[in-house]
A = this chain, B = another copy of it.
Amino acid sequence: MRDMPLSKVYQLLEPGPVVLLTTAQKGQANIMTMSWHMMVEFEPPLVACVVSNRNHSFAALRVTKQCVIAIPALELAPRVVEIGNCSGRDMDKFERFGLTPVPAKRVAAPLVAECCANLECKVVDTQMVNRFNIFILEVVKAWKDPAQKHAKTIHHHGYGKFAVDGEMIKLKSRMP
């Protein structure tokens, strides 16, 4: 994993990929699949996400106020779906799905070695948690895997149907 400037983080999340979210509590790491997230600010990068209180990760995220957003490429899609189909209440999902937790630099939650990017995050606002399960995160450190430079991400359309990134087009825009 190579260091990535925080000013470019929005370019990874704005397109709406399915992501993984890792947490760690009392030495126990967990991982969940997440599609409900959006950028809120460019720099420092702020991200809103919905983590349901029915998810095992909810308590760890609320208590530790730390997580990692890891972006999986197409090759991981079958595992991403399986991770979403089961709960960390019942198993160690890193071990079960053959994913490698790597110590992060600024948070206790682990990076995922197999993902093409990893974003270390701290919870900076919880006022929407009780009503909407919305957490506001600040990305405090970002990593990209140089070996996965042209990774294609996946976008969930419901019940395991995903659109894979296709053609890239470039139009003249003044907007970041």
Contact = CB atoms under 8 A, between A and B. Distances in A.
Interface string A1-15: 000000010110011
Given A132-B46, A162-B168, A168-B162, A15 B16 contact: yes
Per DSSP, chain A at the interface is mixed
Most buried by B among A39, A131, A163, A176: A163
Contacts of A37: 38
A167 B166 CA distance: 7
B36 A134 contact: no
A57 to B, nearest CB: 14
Nearest to A10: B158
Given A40-B134, A162-B171, A165-B163, A156 B15 contact: yes
